[in-house]
Structure 1
Amino acid sequence: MRPTTARAVHGVVAVVTAVAVLWQLALIVNGEAVLNETARPDLAVRLARFVSYFTILSNLLVLGCSVVLAVDPLHDGPRWRLVRMATMVGITVTGVVHWFLLRPLLDLSGGSYVVDKLLHVVVPVLALVAWVVAGPRGQAARPQVLGALAWPLLWGALTLVRGSVTGWWPYPFIDVDELGWGRVLLNLLGVAVLFGACGFAFVAADRTLARRSPRSA
């Protein structure tokens, strides 16, 4: 793919992701919630919870990476490769977990429904498509998979500590008060396995795509 086309592809992902995140932020400021429509804490609490959702963090990573690649579609470097792997795995798991675990629990309408689909479906799909068609290729490697697990593990630990103190849990499948520690830890283990599987799948796919498109590597 030509650099100008790759820039356009990543630019589209950046714009869509920015719209989704800012739209969700506007809903939060207005007192709307994603998983609990009846709770209306004050603004400071709502904003703190906003940045506590893994969905928001993974979308922000997509936004940052997409902006970088829209400027330089062949951007590279050891730290960049790790961030890129963490981003792609994070947004993929966001979409999968939402589709199978959270979507059946939600009953949204209007703007909340649209932004939910943008954050959990549209952005993950666009990010994956952009990674496949625009690259850059040849950057994924197995050692990055373990490093990419660091931030979700840290997020999980902080979420459990915070939830234990405040009683607020961002997602039902990690609600210790409702499910108990054993079930929650098992759920988190399952998500961690999913992270690892996605990471190795990206490595294998990157190698295959690099062989087919040597110029992009």
Structure 2
Amino acid sequence: MRPLFAVVRIAGALAILAAIVAQLVRSQEFWTNVGIRHVENLYVNFFSFFTIDSNVGAVVVFAIGAVLLIRGRENPRWFAILRACVTSYMAVTGIVYNTLLRGVDVSEGSVVAWSNEILHVVGPLLIVLDYLFATDRIRLGWTTIRWVVSFPIVWAAYTMIRGPLAYNDLAQKRTWYPYPFLDPANSPEGYVSVLFYVVLIAAIIGGVGCAVVAISHRPRWPLPARAAA
């Protein structure tokens, strides 16, 4: 089983990395074609999407996890926590995209269809299935939830602070938000509507994080869960 999951993790890391690079290259081509010479701000925008951040985390988790399996090493506690966090983020990425954003173009350029599906569907499914069935999952304490929610809180604060200050080169306006529901100008209720979505997503992430920790407490096929060091 360990060699099988090592192969799956390597394949998953390569697929997600290829999807990120493909979308970045396509976006850069689009930026160049529309005459934007200084694309530094657009690169910052690209890596300010929660989807991109989550998928970068998935690449790191899959790569480290594959090495640990190949070397026959036990998961260190820091990696178990990182894996739980990234699994939660990727699960939420899949849930939010497929319920709120499917069909909505939030890219900074032309969307690469296959890349979009890997980042929002295939990647989240792979990492969730890996967490459920891989043989190296260890038991986590409930204090792990504070780590799960820490990055989304920082990301939300960064997004709302940067939003009014960032220049949108493509739309030529002085605000930029990664997702339409985070832009106060898109709703008559303004920041009240934004706050609702932020709280909703925080609740979803917290709930998914609780499920991830709870799963680590349960017996795993085919072996029982091991306690973390």
Map of 1:160 onto structure 2: 160
- The letter of the residue matching 1:98 is Y
Would you say the 8 A contact 1:28–1:46 is kept in 2?
Answer: no
Shift of the 151–83 alpha-carbon distance from structure 1 to 2, 3 Å rule, reads same
- The letter of the residue matching 1:204 is A
* 1:92 partner SS: helix
- The letter of the residue matching 1:81 is A
CA distance in 2, matches of 1:156, 1:107: 17
Map of 2:134 onto structure 1: 134
* 2:218 partner SS: helix
Measured on the aligned residues, the alpha-carbon RMSD in Å equals: 2.4
Shift of the 49–212 alpha-carbon distance from structure 1 to 2, 3 Å rule, reads same
Would you say the 8 A contact 2:106–2:179 is kept in 1?
Answer: no
Unaligned runs of 5+ in 2: 167-174
* 1:184 partner SS: helix
* 2:177 partner SS: coil
| TM alignment of 1:88-167, pairs within 5 A | 88-106=87-105, 112-166=112-166, 167=175
* 1:214 partner SS: coil
| TM alignment of 1:33-48, pairs within 5 A | 42-48=38-44
Map of 1:18 onto structure 2: 17
CA distance in 1, matches of 2:11, 2:17: 10
Q: Deviations over 1:66-120 (max 9, x none)?
A: 0001111254223222211110111111110000010042499x86222111111
Report which of the two structures shows the higher radius of gyration computed on alpha carbons: 2
Would you say the 8 A contact 1:14–1:62 is kept in 2?
Answer: yes
Length-normalised TM-score, structure 2? 0.83
- The letter of the residue matching 1:53 is F
Shift of the 39–87 alpha-carbon distance from structure 1 to 2, 3 Å rule, reads farther
Q: Deviations over 1:158-195 (max 9, x none)?
A: 00001021200100111122221111011000000001
CA distance in 2, matches of 1:29, 1:91: 25
CA distance in 1, matches of 2:162, 2:47: 13
Identity over aligned pairs, percent: 26
Map of 2:63 onto structure 1: 67
- The letter of the residue matching 1:82 is I
Shift of the 135–170 alpha-carbon distance from structure 1 to 2, 3 Å rule, reads farther
